[in-house]
């Protein structure tokens, strides 16, 4: 079967079982928030604390912000989507091991056990956007017409994150040490991705190679809503191509390993 046919089939399957996907996503959100006193606030406090630390270090201690002013908006416009990506990939390492009995017993496409994690973390990201809007309003950051590209960035990030999660989730079942390796890789990716700095702040050679990180093009779309100069079409084009390739690879890896995964868990 051609790869593109498998991709279309995977998307069609998700659409057919969208009700099951939505129910499992709501289950995740309810469990996460019902066991916490602060609930939703934790999804906001985490990026806020991180943004506060970097803002203080670069603007107050060193007085050298490595991004465009207002720096707090510059930070949050990348930190919030990063929390989505980081949380989804981290949780995907336990997608099958955590709910092994349900995965084996419920007759739904197993890809849903991964995509519901990406969706639930994506909903948390969308719910945290009022924080970005608040700081933009307070700091005087004016949104431009690039704000219309925001939904496209959300879809593109969902494609990339889902594809990568579909690779990680089954492989962790076979190689348990991969869970720790994923966490280390995510830590490296945080600094290799233009979050606390902008692509324009990188020296020439690094500026070129940064484009091959799909998150670079995705995050530049988010930032362009307030900082039009951050929009780099070359990076966006690379992100579109690489995100599509990662999704195709993810569906292929998942389809190839699904039977063995069910035996292992």
Q: Is residue 67's pLDDT more than 90?
A: no
Predicted confidence band at 8 (pLDDT cuts at 50, 70, 90)? low
**Contact call for residues 159 and 247 (beta carbons, < 8 A):** yes
Integer Cα distance of 40 and 61 in angstroms: 31
Q: Is residue 101's pLDDT more than 70?
A: yes
Of the ranges 5-14, 24-33, 98-107, 246-255, which one carries the lowest mean pLDDT score? Answer: 5-14
Structure confidence by residue, pLDDT tens digits, 109-151: 888 889 999 999 999 999 899 999 999 999 888 898 999 999 9
Closest CA to 212 of 229, 197, 193, 225: 193
**Contact call for residues 179 and 172 (beta carbons, < 8 A):** yes
Predicted confidence band at 1 (pLDDT cuts at 50, 70, 90)? very low
Predicted confidence band at 210 (pLDDT cuts at 50, 70, 90)? confident
The pTM of this model reads: 0.87
Contacts of residue 109, defined as CB under 8 A and 6 or more positions apart, other chains included, come to 13, 14, 17
Predicted confidence band at 35 (pLDDT cuts at 50, 70, 90)? low
What residue spans define the domains of the chain?
A: 3-264
DSSP assignment of 236-251: HHHHHHHHHHHHHHHH
Give the DSSP letter of residue 111. T
Give CA angle at 41 (38, 47), nearest 5°. 135
DSSP H helices, the chain, are 3-16, 18-34, 40-55, 71-92, 100-105, 112-139, 150-174, 178-192, 204-210, 214-224, 233-264
Q: Give me the pLDDT at residue 13, please.
A: 61
Q: Position of tokens 């943004």? A: 51
**Contact call for residues 246 and 214 (beta carbons, < 8 A):** yes
Of the ranges 11-20, 40-49, 150-159, which one carries the lowest mean pLDDT score? Answer: 11-20
Q: Give me the pLDDT at residue 92, please.
A: 94
Two structure tokens written together for 155: 């879809």
Determine phi and psi for 75, rounding to 5 degrees.
Answer: -65, -50
Q: Give me the pLDDT at residue 21, please.
A: 85
Contacts of residue 195, defined as CB under 8 A and 6 or more positions apart, other chains included, come to 75, 78, 79, 82, 219
Q: Is residue 182's pLDDT more than 90?
A: yes
In this structure, the number of other CB atoms found within 10 A of the CB of residue 5 comes to 9
Contacts of residue 51, defined as CB under 8 A and 6 or more positions apart, other chains included, come to 72, 75, 76, 79
Q: Is residue 88's pLDDT more than 60?
A: yes
DSSP assignment of 38-58: STHHHHHHHHHHHHHHHHIII
Integer Cα distance of 3 and 23 in angstroms: 29
Q: Is residue 12's pLDDT more than 70?
A: no
Integer Cα distance of 113 and 98 in angstroms: 10
Q: Is residue 95's pLDDT more than 90?
A: no
């Amino acid at each position: 079967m051609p790869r593109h046919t498998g991709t279309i089939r995977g998307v069609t399957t998700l659409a057919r079982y969208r009700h099951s996907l939505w129910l499992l996503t709501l289950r995740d959100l309810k469990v996460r928030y019902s066991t916490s006193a602060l609930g939703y606030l934790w999804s906001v406090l985490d990026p806020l604390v991180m943004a506060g630390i970097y803002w203080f270090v670069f603007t107050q201690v060193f007085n050298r912000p490595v991004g465009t002013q207002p720096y707090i908006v510059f930070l949050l416009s990348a930190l919030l989507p990063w929390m989505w990506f980081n949380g989804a990939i981290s949780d995907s390492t336990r997608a099958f091991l955590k709910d092994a009995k349900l995965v084996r017993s419920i007759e739904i496409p197993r890809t849903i056990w991964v995509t519901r994690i990406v969706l639930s973390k994506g909903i948390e990201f969308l719910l945290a956007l009022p924080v970005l809007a608040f700081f933009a309003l307070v700091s005087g950051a004016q949104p431009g017409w690039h704000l219309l590209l925001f939904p496209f960035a959300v879809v593109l990030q969902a494609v990339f994150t889902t594809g990568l999660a579909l690779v990680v989730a089954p492989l962790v079942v076979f190689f348990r040490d991969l869970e720790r390796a994923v966490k280390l890789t995510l830590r490296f990716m945080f600094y290799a991705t233009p979050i606390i700095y902008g692509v324009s702040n990188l020296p020439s050679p690094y500026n070129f190679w940064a484009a091959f990180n799909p998150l670079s093009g995705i995050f530049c779309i988010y930032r362009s809503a307030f900082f039009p100069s951050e929009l780099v079409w070359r990076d966006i084009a690379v992100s579109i191509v690489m995100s599509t390739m990662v999704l195709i690879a993810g569906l292929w890896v998942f389809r190839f390993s699904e039977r063995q995964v069910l035996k292992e868990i």
